[in-house]
Each structure stands twice: as structure tokens, then as C-alpha cells.
Amino acid sequence: MWQTRVSRLLNIEYPILAGGMNVISNAELAAAVSNAGGLGIITPFAGLMDPTPERLLENLRAQIRKTKNLTSKPFGINFSLSSPIAKDFIAVALEEGFPVATTSAGSPSVYTRKLKDAGVKVLHLVASVKHAKKAESEGVDGVIAEGFEAGGHNGNDELPTLVLVPQVVDAVKIPVVAAGGIADSRGVVAAFALGAEGVQIGTRFIATTECVAHQNYKQAIVNASDTGTAITGRSIGGVTRAIKSPFIARLQEMESAGAPAKQILDFIGTERIRMGELSGDLAEGEVYSGAIAGMIKDIRPAGDVLREIVSGIPSVVKRMR
């Protein structure tokens, strides 16, 4: 089952991708996933507490170089296309050289051709059939269909993975990677049953030794129950899923009371994610997490996590016969 269009496209042993997680997808984590046979992902924001444009570009360059020093295997870079300096990120990355881009939060029409002309494989994140078909028409090599179970920013239509993935598979001819609510062998097999040819895993890779996320953040995932995450942002058109915390409770109260969008956005500000995910302040900061957190019970090396997922698949398949 490992020889899929995704594994061949990305030149990896197992079609398992790490999620591109805004401030915590660092070089050490990416290299660990790639060395274990998957595709590690880095981001320009990883580990950076004071993200001026200049520092972000320096950080991206440093992350790329460090990843190359830690692994000879393919890796990817996640680009948020809504960033005002997305063009600069891509320019720096192309100067350094890299094999795979995952893109999100914007139109794939803007940079896909530039990336592909440089020999980079491009996978675009989608949350609906409409967006998947648009991405395909713009020439991306594959799409990552992410369901509402996922942590962080989600599609406003709130389609869960079980519903989204098979419809996207039926709608496009390019390979589909399933994301959202996958953390173990059972999730991988389920994704393949839906027609996906690869999976993207985010939250499970946060609770790993290599991830730059603060220990408080990792432990919050380990401590989470099945109902340990909450949705906010519906009132401002920016739906996100995060670990329940005092900050999230206050945010939910504001939304329930009908607070104006500007008041909510001012309350959230621009620092909450770094406060939570990098500094470990769970009272004042926000920490993204998928709903799958309730299944995660330990903090382990990322390579061990991936190898356990792979080794457990035969027994899952056997039970289905």
C-alpha cells in the first residue's frame, strides 16, 4: 500500500506527511520525520518569538539549511499564501533549494507555476471539493483534503474528514492526501479506504521530543480528553480548533455575547499563538490541536511515532478480513 502516487511523487518511503504547523514545524522535527521515511515539513515561523519580516526570512533560510544538515531525505516547506511576504519566503526558499511545497490560506493560482518551474512539487491544502477542483486546474501536483477535526485554522463549511475526503477523491484526478483526525495506524487505513493515497499528521507530531513546541503545550495534548478541544472564530469567519484553556473560554464568552468582530480580533491580537505554543502560557496564550488529542498519551521521538504507525497497519488490515 505504500507505493502510491503520493509516495512516488514525493520520493518518500511512506506517504505520510507532517503537517505544516505555523510556529512549531522546526527543522529537527522535519528531519526526524523524513529520516523515518515520511515527509517532514518546516515553516518560516518555526520557533521565532519576534517575527519581523527580516527575521522571518533569516529564520526560513536557517531552517532549510539545518534540515539539510540533519537529513538527506526529501522534506517540504509550508507556505501560507495569505502572508504579506509570501513572495519573499518563496524567493528565499528557491535560492536555498527544496523539493516539496505545501501551500495554504490563499489561491494556488499565484505561485504554483513559479514553484513547479523550479522543479518543486506542490500540494495545496483544501477544505472543499470546489477548492480542490480549483487547485487542480491551477496545476498543483496533489491536494491535501483537511477535515474539520484538524487543529488550527479550518474550513468555514466545517466538513469532517470522513465526508470531505471521498468527495474530493471523486472530484479530481490528482492524488489526494487526507488530513484531520489521523494519529495512528487505524486512521491511516481509514484514509486509504476513503480513497486517499497519503495522509498528513499534525497534532501527533507536536507531542514529540524534537518539536520546538513548549513542554506545557505538549503536555496539554497528552492530558486532553476526547472533548479537550474547542472551536472559536465562527463569528469572525476564521474557524479554528484549539485546546480548551482559560483564554479559549474567555474568547467563547465574547463570541456568545455577540461581541463585535473588531473587539474579538483585538482580543486575540497577534501574539497569542506564540505565547501559548512557544512560551507555554496556557492561561493567556492559544494552542492549536486537533480533536484527536484525546488519543495521544505520551511524548516520544517523531521517528518512533511514524514507525509505530507503519508497523501497526498490517494488524489493522488483518482485523478487517
Tell me: the pLDDT tens digits for 247-269? 999 999 989 999 898 888 988 87
Task: Give me the tens of pLDDT residue by residue for the chain, a chain 321 residues long.
Answer: 578 999 999 999 999 999 999 899 999 999 999 999 999 999 999 988 888 999 999 999 999 999 999 999 999 999 999 889 999 999 999 999 999 999 998 889 889 999 999 999 999 999 999 999 999 999 999 999 999 999 888 888 889 999 999 999 999 999 999 999 999 999 999 999 999 999 999 999 999 999 999 999 999 999 999 999 999 988 888 888 999 999 999 999 989 999 898 888 988 877 888 999 999 999 999 999 999 999 999 999 999 999 999 999 999 998 887
| Any domain includes 216 | no
* Number of domains within the chain: 1
- Strand duo 229-232 + 240-243: pairing: antiparallel
Three-state secondary structure of the chain: CCCCHHHHHHCCCCCEEECCCCCCCCHHHHHHHHHCCCEEEECCCCCCCCCCHHHHHHHHHHHHHHHHHHCCCCEEEEEECCCCCHHHHHHHHHHHCCCEEEEECCCCCCCHHHHHHCCCEEEEEECCHHHHHHHHHCCCCEEEEECCCCCEECCCCCCCHHHHHHHHHHHCCCCEEEECCCCCHHHHHHHHHCCCCEEEECHHHHCECCCCCCHHHHHHHHHCCCCCEEEECHHHCCCEEEECCHHHHHHHHHHHCCCCHHHHHHHHCCCHHHHHHHCCCCCCCCCECCHHHHHCCCCECHHHHHHHHHHHHHHHHHHHC
| Any domain includes 217 | no
| Any domain includes 99 | yes
Q: What is the pLDDT of residues 86-124, one digit of tens each?
A: 999 999 999 999 999 999 988 898 899 999 999 999 999
Q: pTM for the full model? A: 0.92
| Any domain includes 305 | no
| Any domain includes 219 | no
CATH of the domain at 19: 3.20.20.70
| Any domain includes 278 | no
Q: What is the pLDDT of residue 233?
A: 86
| Any domain includes 306 | no
**Full residue range of the structural domain in which residue 191 is found:** 5-208
| Any domain includes 223 | no
